[in-house]
Amino acid sequence: MNTVQTTPTATASPPAPRASSRSPLAWVREHIILLIAGLAFVYLMAPNVVVVLFSFNRPSGRFNYTWQHFSLNAWLHPCGAPGLCEALGLSLQIGLLATLLSTTIGTLAAFALARHRFRGRSATNLLIFLPMATPEVVMGSSLLTLFVSLRVPLGAATILIAHVMFDISFVIVTVKARIAGLDPRLEQAAMDLYANERQTFLRVTLPLVLPGIGAAALLAFALSFDDYIITNFNASSSSVTFPMYVYGAASRGTPVQINVIGTVMFVLALVAVGIGQLAARRRGRGNA
């Protein structure tokens, strides 16, 4: 009986997968959020880059609008422009005082609104947002009418009162949001460990709220230092702040020292934000 031997047929190996070719449109769809964020960041940072760049310019005329050639003259003589350092000093004094007063009053008000129930609490919360929603022209003219009616002489004192008034609202909103995010069980645990109300506030509540208070203080100083409209309504001819000086210098000729001051303030703001982020990371690592 003959047996037929069959040889196994070789199976064909599957073809190697081809590298999938992705269209540029698909890549854009996947990274659309990053692209929009990058464009927004460039849009926000472009004016600051121009300020830093033109702080090293040496213009040939009065205006510092076109690049001439590189120079360190403005950095070596930051007070070279007449009246610039006096205006800057006044803005720093008013900004620091307004920050101190508004942060203290606003923090106490934020604790009262967040932790206590009293008659008129809802109306108070509504009134807090009025300075934030009111146009600065209306607020400045209203304050000017108030000071003139009370026969209060315009000057640095009226500027300080105006700045404290609109800074308080931003401080209350910022600190109140921080207080609302606290875990009440932490304070309850401190009291369970025989800590009284003062010890609980100083060792538990205040350290947790302190980042919000610091952020509110930085915001209050930035708003006070940068304000022009309300300040212009309530200032006298002898009390010229830095924003008022910049606005007045724009018609006569912009000195390069203005860009130097702007660069220094921008760098200080970045340093403050960086220190805050590093401190937050260290606290997070310590808690972990």
**118-173: per-residue pLDDT in tens?**
888 888 888 888 888 889 999 999 999 999 999 999 999 999 999 999 999 999 99
Domain ranges of the chain: 82-254, 256-288
Residue % of the chain over a pLDDT of 70: 91
In contact, 284 and 107? CB cutoff 8 Å = no
Q: How far apart are CA 78 and CA 255, in angstroms?
A: 10
85-94 residue pLDDT tens: 999 999 999 9
Q: What phi and psi, each to the nearest 5 degrees, are found at residue 57?
A: -90, 150
The domain defined by 82-254 carries CATH number 3.55.50.30: no
- 251 vs 83, higher pLDDT: 83
Q: Is the pLDDT at 1 greater than 50, yes or no?
A: no
Q: How far apart are CA 19 and CA 29, in angstroms?
A: 20
pLDDT at residue 11 is higher than 80 = no
Beta bridge partners of 57: 70
Helix (H) and strand (E) counts for the chain? 13, 0
β-pair partners for 70: 57
Question: What span, in angstroms and rounded, lies between the C-alpha atoms of 162 and 156?
Answer: 10
Segment holding 172, helix H or strand E: helix 156-180
Task: Give residue-wise pLDDT tens across range 15-35.
Answer: 555 555 667 888 888 889 999
Tens of pLDDT, residue by residue over 32-73, are 999 999 999 999 999 999 999 999 998 877 778 888 889 899
